[in-house]
Amino acid sequence: MDKKVNGHAAVILANVIFGLGVPVTKYLLEDWVTPMVYMALRCIGAALIFWLIAAFLPKEKVEKKDLIVIMLGGLTGFVISQTLTAWALNYTSPVYYSLIATLVPIGTMLLAALFLKESITGVKLMGVCLGIAGAALLVLVKWQTEAGSNDLLGIFFALLSLLTWVIYLIITSKVSQKYTAVTQMKWTFLVSTIAVLPFAWNEFGQTKLFSGDYGFTEGMMGVGGMAFIVVFATVMGYFMIPYAMKYLRATTVSIYTNLQPIVASLIAIVIGQDIFTWDKPVAAVLVLVGAYLVTQKGQG
């Protein structure tokens, strides 16, 4: 199979997982964990899994300068970005957060043009705009249906979170082409654990997840939700992104971010929390057509 096709498949899968992770994260933060404990569990779990996998793979030597980039990328794209995401969802709704997320591709395109010298063609610009329009359409239909405890503060954190994610895509674009995803992620989550654990340590005992004050069925929901976030929304999702960036440009990877609100909406339909309306398939088509246009004329 063509390597670019593999890259597209990987980034689509990652964003489907991230889309599923948004409502799960909201659920966990409402009752089970604090934002810092949520982050610490993701870091610790992912670090253990990636180092275990790496132990069974050929050892890959990383140049010191590249290791610094990988670690800085981890702190930026995971620790800072995801902590801000947790805080954002603690104050605002997934709908408002998803609307802010539609800005990621345009930010990535501009920074890629500035720092990576990627060209901004009319076709690429049209593709990015279609992707944004698709996600924005879906979210704006629900604009008045959900609100958080402090939407303004939540949206501010969401903007900072997505800005750091864009920076992560830019600064790791070159090292992603040199090393395997496992090598990158084992170092990313090791430094992330070291950075987050001191801030979360005193909060573990204050969370419902570690209190034991819940029944078996309720506990399965909390523990299962956290396990999903660690195994899928962290390990698998963050494995797929650097893998995709081996074969795709940063702007192409970023445009698939607009799949996240669509996935969240489709899941809500399946579980009976939402109904099928005209805007959902239209939004999906716009995002996918936008992604296709971004890859045209050598832009992949």
Choose the weakest-confidence range: 28-42, 161-175, 254-268: 254-268
SS3 119: coil
Which of the four pLDDT bands, split at 50, 70 and 90, describes residue 299?
Answer: very low
What's the pLDDT tens digit per position in 69-124? Answer: 999 988 998 889 888 888 887 787 766 676 677 677 777 777 777 777 777 777 77
Asked if residue 150 has pLDDT above 60, the reply is: yes
Name the DSSP letter for residue 76.
I
Distance CA 90, CA 147 (A): 11
Give the global pTM: 0.78
Q: Is residue 141 part of a domain?
A: yes
| Domain assignment of residue 300, yes or no | no
Token output for 105: 């591709």
* Structural domain containing residue 225: 3-294
CB 24 within 8 A of CB 169: no
Task: Report yes or no on 285 lying in a domain.
Answer: yes
Residue, of 42 and 163, whose pLDDT is higher: 42
pLDDT averaged over every residue in the chain: 82
Let me know: does 191 contact 44? Beta carbons within 8 Å: no
- Residue 15 in this model has a pLDDT that exceeds 70: yes
* pLDDT tens column, 212-258: 888 888 889 999 999 999 999 999 998 998 898 888 887 778 778 77
Look at residue 124 and tell me if it is in a domain: yes
- The answer as to whether 299 is a domain residue is no
**Please, which pLDDT band fits residue 5 given cuts at 50, 70 and 90?**
confident
Instruction: Say if 21 falls within a structural domain.
Output: yes
In the predicted model, is pLDDT for residue 296 greater than 70?
no
Task: Decide: helix, strand or coil at residue 33.
Answer: coil
Q: Provide mean pLDDT across the span 116-135.
A: 75
Q: What is the mean pLDDT of residues 17-41?
A: 88
Q: Which of 170-174, 243-247, 280-284 has the weakest average pLDDT?
A: 280-284
> Cα torsion for 18, 222, 163, 138, to the nearest 10°?
50
Task: Categorize the per-residue pLDDT at 203 as very low, low, confident or very high, splitting at 50, 70 and 90.
Answer: very high
pLDDT at res. 204: 93
* Structural domain count, the chain: 1
In a domain, 203, yes or no: yes
Question: Which whole number is the average pLDDT over 168-190?
Answer: 90
Q: In the predicted model, what is the mean pLDDT of residues 21-41? A: 89
| Residues 44-79: tens digit of each pLDDT | 999 999 999 999 999 999 999 999 999 998 899 888
120 vs 39, more confident = 39
Helix-helix angle 181-200:35-55, to 10 degrees: 150
For residue 284, is it within any domain? yes
> Does the pLDDT value for residue 140 go beyond 70?
no
- In sign, the C-alpha dihedral spanning 19, 89, 241, 229 is negative
Of 11 and 269, the one with more pLDDT: 11
Whether pLDDT at 11 is above 70: yes
